[in-house]
Structure 1
Amino acid sequence: MTDPTALLGTWSLTRVVDDRLAGERRDVRGSATLRLEAPGRVRWSEEGTMTWGGRSVPVSRTLYVVSDGESWDVHFEDGRLFHPWAVGAWVDHPCAPDHYRGLIEVGAGRWSVEWQARGPEKDYVMRTEHVRAEES
């Protein structure tokens, strides 16, 4: 498993959201920054522009990857648990009435996150590619 501190720095972010329920594709271009706020606490900030159907809007979010000394978990900005940080293994995030399944993969100079959301209110696949900013 890759420790999230190995990903500290700024990344170019490209995201594709294939929303099957809405029948549309949304694209995001922007950046992600991971920085150590304190031992065992990484701030993961994203900002960019989402485009679809001739429209564009600014988007942003902040997550935290927090260690309990043995493992790491991803938390929403408000502190709620999102999912375990488990590189190379599918993780689940039940969020009634829908269910989210995610996968983080890490390679040389890049990493990706895929989320599949299914349920009565959501049916999409969101894939985010990150490339070191200096390599993009």
Structure 2
Amino acid sequence: MTSTDTPEGRIFLSLPGKWALARAIPGTGSVTGVAEFRRLRPDLLLYREEGTLELGTGQTHDVSREYHYLLEDNQIRVCFVEPPEFGRTMHVLRLDGAEATDEHLCDQDLYTGHYRFEGPDRFTVEMRVRGPKKDYSMHTTYDRLPDAPADLL
């Protein structure tokens, strides 16, 4: 396990709790909902989000996703939870100040994630996806929910 006395360790310790999420997907729609980071072990968090996708056509859909956030070797590894990708790394966060960028190749599509931790109660994730099958971007803002009841999700 990694020391929590590193920038990555301090960010990791600040994540547990509930967060309001707002995601813009230009040209497609938006997602609003709630995300939760729940501690499974001292070095492992379960991230779960639930929300509503509103398409530009006005259609809405319930959406959800999960990841594991693992603190190891002075980095935070974001991993897939769902089979068949379980345990596979999506991004590795090695902070430069309060920001980290990493890439993940999924088949022939490249997912570039830029994570910016603006303070203990707000962070953003910019995701750019390019390849033969996909070409889009997403901007997600997370704001900590004050005094949210336990086990909201």
2:74 corresponds to 1:70: yes
Q: Which residue of 1 aligns with 2:43?
A: 40
Q: Which runs of 4+ in 1 moved over 3 A?
A: none
- Distance (whole Å) between structure 2 residues aligned to residue 90 and residue 69 of structure 1: 17
Following TM superposition, by how much is the alpha carbon of 1:129 offset from its aligned partner in structure 2, in angstroms?
Answer: 0.2
Following TM superposition, by how much is the alpha carbon of 1:69 offset from its aligned partner in structure 2, in angstroms?
Answer: 4.7
1:124 to 121, 128, 136: 136
> Is 2:122–2:144's contact at 8 Å kept on the other side of the alignment?
yes
Ranges in structure 1 where 5+ consecutive residues have no aligned partner: 19-23
The AA in structure 1 aligned to 2:22 is: T
Deviations 1:95-133 (A, max 9, x none): 121111111111122001111001111111111000111
Q: Which residue of 2 aligns with 1:13?
A: 21
- Distance (whole Å) between structure 2 residues aligned to residue 65 and residue 31 of structure 1: 17
Q: Higher strand share goes to which structure?
A: 1
Following TM superposition, by how much is the alpha carbon of 1:72 offset from its aligned partner in structure 2, in angstroms?
Answer: 1.9
> Is 2:12–2:71's contact at 8 Å kept on the other side of the alignment?
no
Residue pairs, 1:1-136, within 5 angstroms: 1-2=7-8, 3-18=11-26, 24-52=27-55, 53-77=57-81, 78-87=86-95, 88-108=99-119, 109-134=121-146
> Is 1:14–1:130's contact at 8 Å kept on the other side of the alignment?
yes
- Distance (whole Å) between structure 2 residues aligned to residue 68 and residue 4 of structure 1: 10
- Distance (whole Å) between structure 2 residues aligned to residue 107 and residue 134 of structure 1: 17
Q: CA RMSD of the aligned region, Å?
A: 1.6
The AA in structure 1 aligned to 2:58 is: G
Number of residue pairs matched by the alignment: 130
Identity %: 32
Determine helix, strand or coil for the equivalent of 1:90.
strand
The AA in structure 2 aligned to 1:45 is: R
The AA in structure 2 aligned to 1:17 is: I
- Distance (whole Å) between structure 1 residues aligned to residue 93 and residue 45 of structure 2: 12
- Distance (whole Å) between structure 1 residues aligned to residue 89 and residue 49 of structure 2: 18
> Is 1:33–1:44's contact at 8 Å kept on the other side of the alignment?
yes
- Distance (whole Å) between structure 1 residues aligned to residue 138 and residue 125 of structure 2: 8
